[in-house]
Amino acid sequence: MTTVEHTSQQTGPITLHIDTQAADVQVVADPRVTGTWIELSTPDENGPAVTAIQNASFRDHGGDVYLSVKEATGGGTIRNVQFGNGNVRVNGNFSGGVTVVNGVVITNGQMSSGITVRAITEPGSAVDVKTMSGDVLAKNVKSLRAQTQSGDVTAIDVVTVTASTMSGDITAEGVTARSSLKSMSGDIDVSGSPAASVKASTMSGDVTGSGVDLHGSSMSGRVRQRRATAADEW
């Protein structure tokens, strides 16, 4: 395993910006910590994934902390391939560059394991993530803005969530403020406070809401609002 760590010079709530291509991202706000700590890791000991995290760029600027980790080299483009239900989906019309197969990066014919980004920050912080195939998980932060093509987005006890995916699922639990969730073919599941006005739309996936003020739409999937029952208290 190879790891790279970064401790931000900023203290207090910050906005954490993460830009990656295939890395999974996990961010947690913890009231017991001061400042922001970031770890990049891969099971590999050499290869493209190791090179990517060793060349990752960190920058602290005011109340913002920036991380950029790119699996592609030489300015190459990315081709994202997924296997599902016996089918192969290729996202994007690209040539050359890097191929990502279910989160595994292949560069110049060399396969590498995935990259994981873990961050711990202070409560009240915001997170802004852009990724192509990586999954995004945020917990206890004030706000999450996530944009991904095929990765899933999960927000737990995040006040407000803005998430957009192509084929990934979106799960938001415990939202308490206005949120916007959009997916082309993924499912959306949101729960939280009645004070949270949530706009959730998908083309072919299902939309399910619980507790929130849901404004849901789907072209070919189902939209339903779960109602609390006594059984929910068991």
Q: What is the pLDDT of residues 88-128, one digit of tens each?
A: 444 444 444 455 554 455 554 444 569 999 999 999 999 99
Give residue-wise pLDDT tens across range 194-225.
999 999 999 999 999 999 999 999 999 999 98
- Contact between 100 and 132 under an 8 Å Cβ cutoff? The reply is yes
Sign of CA dihedral 151, 216, 171, 69: positive
Q: Report the C-alpha gap between 178 and 161 in whole angstroms.
A: 8
CA dist., res. 26 & res. 43, Å (int): 16
223, 232 Cβ separation under 8 angstroms: no
Record the tokens describing residue 204, joined without a space.
């072919």
User: What is the band of 86 on the pLDDT scale with cuts at 50, 70, 90?
Assistant: very low
**Tens-digit pLDDT profile for residues 3-32:** 999 999 889 999 999 999 899 999 999 999
What is the pLDDT, as a whole number, of residue 70?
86
Question: What's at 101, amino acid-wise?
Answer: V
Q: Are 102 and 55 in contact (CB under 8 A)?
A: no
Q: What is the CA radius of gyration of the chain?
A: 18
